[in-house]
Amino acid sequence: MLELKNTGKVRDSYVVSSDPSRLVVVATDRISAYDVVMTEGVPRKGRVLTAVSLFWFDALKGKLATQTPVLFDKVDLDAIGLHDEFLGRTTSVRRAEMVPIECVVRGYLAGSAWKEYLRYQSVGDIAMRSGLMLGSKLDRPVFTPTTKEAEGHDLPLSLSQLRARVGTSLACELEEISLFVYGEAMRVAADKGLVIADTKFEFGYIDGKLALCDEVLTPDSSRYWRVESMGLGREPVQLDKQILRDWLSETGWNGAGRPPTLDAKVIEKLSLSYVAIYETLSGLSFTDWPGNYDLRCYLGERTNKYES
């Protein structure tokens, strides 16, 4: 028996009654921006997120405790009554007691960190040197955690606010592991001509031990740049969810109320860019990833409600 436990912005999670220690996570083709789920999906997205995340869990194997994700094949899906639409997007992970913190690491100046730098010459309240530009490499990667809100926007936390919230020991652990994983990932990405400008991790307790959970280093949770598009005095070419944010801001929508209907061109660009990130990282063709390589979206169980 499958029981739906959670419908997040992108993933639906289920528990199989025969093994409550694990979670069945289905990455749908939903996409969100400013914490609002769009009406349209992005073809292949859930399968790419699954492929990219599994690539990183594999690359990190043996280096830290994780939720140990396992991809479902057709036989596994059949056994719990799920059909082919779930192929390539469904994993089983160890169920964790999540720490409600978004562990953001930034190696380059972009997004809200760029805005903060322009106003205060700091990033996550940490003073930076002058003269940095949009896309500049920071002298060292910085940990800029935020809250993880069930609804609405996450709020930035200074390191002292984080310590006050979760205690000094867990705060240190979150920072240390986040910076460690980011450093490992940057080495792997550099070999493929990619830079991860920033990313977000989530951790949880499994058997009393802190473990890396959720999606890891996907184009939803990270900014990916191609090295050759950097340092040209302008913003690097966007390959990740930033494509959607940029398009949305051109339409004038700022996150309030019903989002605009996504243009077919922006949907296609997102789909192709996400696939390209997987292929660049893995050196494999995404057409070989399990499941249907077609344009049909699987949108899962979430129903969107918009404030007007």
Ligand X SMILES: Nc1ncnc2c1ncn2[C@@H]1O[C@H](COP(=O)(O)OP(=O)(O)O)[C@@H](O)[C@H]1O
With binding defined as CB under 6 A, does residue 77 bind ligand X?
no
User: In this chain, which of 103, 214, 218, 240 binds ligand X, going by CB under 6 A?
Assistant: 214
With binding defined as CB under 6 A, does residue 11 bind ligand X?
yes
User: In this chain, which of 50, 53, 67, 273 binds ligand X, going by CB under 6 A?
Assistant: 67
Q: Which is nearer to ligand X, 36 or 281 (CB)?
A: 36
With binding defined as CB under 6 A, does residue 23 bind ligand X?
yes
With binding defined as CB under 6 A, does residue 304 bind ligand X?
no
Whole-number Å distance between alpha carbons of 286 and 48? 8
- Nearest distance in Å: CB 69, ligand X: 8
Please give the size of the binding site for ligand X, defined by CB under 6 A.
17
Q: Which is nearer to ligand X, 13 or 292 (CB)?
A: 13
Q: Which of 178, 103, 98 is nearest to 147 (CA)?
A: 103
Whole-number Å distance between alpha carbons of 179 and 171? 12
DSSP 83-111: -GGGTTTEEEEE--EE-SEEEEEEEE--H
With binding defined as CB under 6 A, does residue 16 bind ligand X?
no
- Nearest distance in Å: CB 8, ligand X: 2
- Nearest distance in Å: CB 295, ligand X: 22
Minimal CB distance to ligand X: which residue? Answer: 8
Whole-number Å distance between alpha carbons of 35 and 58? 28
Asked if 45 contacts 271 with a C-beta cutoff of 8 angstroms, the reply is yes
CA angle 6, 15, 49 (to 5 degrees): 60
- Nearest distance in Å: CB 96, ligand X: 4
Classify residue 112 by burial, with Cβ atoms within 10 Å: 0-12, 13-18, 19+.
middle
